[in-house]
Amino acid sequence: MTDTAVVGFLLVDKPSGITSHTVVARVRKALGTRRVGHGGTLDPMATGLLIVGVGRATRLLGYVAGQTKQYTATIRLGSATFTDDAEGELVGETVSSTHLSTEEISLAMTAYLGTIQQVPSSVSAIKVDGKRSYARLRAGEEVELKSREVCIDQFSLLTRRDESPWVDVDVVVDCSSGTYIRALARDLGRDLGVGGHLTALRRTRIGGFTLDLSCDLDSVGVGSLITMGQMAPHIAPVVEVSETQLRDIAVGRKLPVTLETKLASMMYDNELVALYEPDEFDLDVARPVAVFIDSPMALLDLPSTESTNSDTRPSSFCEDAPPASYCEAAPPPSYCEAAPPPSFCGAERLAESRLASSATAESGPCDFAQGDGEGCAGTPPPSLLEDAVPPSPCADTLSPSPCADTLSPSPCAQSQGPSVTGAHSG
């Protein structure tokens, strides 16, 4: 693989009082890398599971964020707020809700099971004409968000507590990505005629990952990372590929395989190498969605005749062709080394003495420490050396190095194929 930086996923238990972006910033600092992102925003009030991607793994966060999610939450019935949660100002009057029976509340909750149309909270991060909805509200603008389809598999009442004039109900929600739990609290209170808002939220599951697998933000480290290969089965069904297929994947080719699902995780030697989907024109062919390797040589352990050295080239490929003598003995070693006359360095020392006597001289004209080791890097102006130093035959009279300029671009470099490329469940 070409990306040698820290790569993988972190399951973080986000504490209350900080944004999801703050979690990202702290992970960047802890792991010493800038390429960090998260999959699925949690509002500052909310706690629980936040999946953070690091390095190349950030390319998979969109697939991670699309997984189903589970939350536990507390809904306060009896008052509504501007933000649909406890952080917003009260809207309207508080209405006593203690007269509501547990059965009435549970029955009202069943209306939200299945596929529904939900209007997100107006203070969400959804963009309206390129600007966040909450930013428009803060600027005093009226915001009306369109409803969106979400799916709720479970919306169950766990416990009830009467806190006159309010009733607090603890609930559990299993839902699709994009579901706003604040909106559920708002709509439930509206349906019961008393108003409602969210007072607590904790995300307990994303896809197949549960909160008990997470780590505290303070203990984040490289040892906490989940590899892309470990994450792959949670994104799409796994398909094992052969060495030949791996070579095709590396250059973004389609594969003659029939996929039974809309997306597949292509695996080789326990590593996720690509995501593929069925070709829309030929279902017996799969096409790449994302490729995570640049060359199969980075993964294959081939025999010595095909194996690679540290720079992914066969040992004889660039060392013996062109012949060793081509670069090593042409021009002859004496050509550049002996070309300057014996007096050359003596003349430079003479020039140095002239410079040393000058009040404006700052360094010797033949200060090898300043150059690249070929001749005099610090050659003084011609006025100082014109009588003493003949022009360097290596610098002025030689044709360009045949090794540097006349060879075609490295076939090793060309052999590598291109890489293909809020309180809500977000």
Over 80: is that where the pLDDT of 19 sits? yes
322 burial type by CB count under 10 A (0-12 exposed, 13-18 middle, 19+ buried): middle
Is residue 159 in some structural domain? yes
Is residue 377 in some structural domain? no
Residue 73 maps to which CATH number? 3.30.2350.10
End residue of a domain, out of 195, 229, 263: 229
304-333 pLDDT, tens digit each: 334 444 343 433 333 444 443 344 444 444
The mean pLDDT value for 28-33 works out to 94
Is residue 371 in some structural domain? no
Q: What is the pLDDT of residue 371?
A: 35
Residue 254 maps to which CATH number? 2.30.130.10
**212 in the same domain as 63:** yes
**55 in the same domain as 44:** yes
Tokens matching residue 78: 């009896």
**145 in the same domain as 48:** no
pLDDT band at 298 (very low <50, low <70, confident <90, very high): low
**85 in the same domain as 58:** no
**200 in the same domain as 138:** yes
Is residue 308 in some structural domain? no
Is residue 257 in some structural domain? yes
- Rounded Cα gap, residues 73 and 158, in angstroms: 10
**134 in the same domain as 112:** yes
Q: DSSP labels for 84-126?
A: SBTTSPEES-----TT--HHHHHHHHGGGSEEEEEPPPTTSS-
Is residue 157 in some structural domain? yes
Closest CA to 297 of 286, 308, 284, 281: 308
**142 in the same domain as 256:** no
Q: What is the CA radius of gyration of the chain?
A: 34
**81 in the same domain as 34:** no
pLDDT band at 135 (very low <50, low <70, confident <90, very high): confident
41-64 pLDDT, tens digit each: 899 999 999 999 999 999 999 999
pLDDT band at 141 (very low <50, low <70, confident <90, very high): confident
**212 in the same domain as 189:** no
pLDDT band at 416 (very low <50, low <70, confident <90, very high): very low
**225 in the same domain as 132:** no
Q: What is the pLDDT of residue 127?
A: 73
Residue 80: strand pairing partners: 91
Is residue 294 in some structural domain? yes
- Rounded Cα gap, residues 41 and 20, in angstroms: 6
Catalytic residue among 43, 174, 187, 294: 43
Over 90: is that where the pLDDT of 340 sits? no
The mean pLDDT value for 225-246 works out to 94
Over 80: is that where the pLDDT of 161 sits? yes
Is residue 115 in some structural domain? yes
**202 in the same domain as 73:** yes
Range of the domain at 162: 69-206
**222 in the same domain as 111:** no
- Rounded Cα gap, residues 162 and 304, in angstroms: 75
Residue 43 bears catalytic tag: yes
Q: How many domains does the chain have?
A: 3
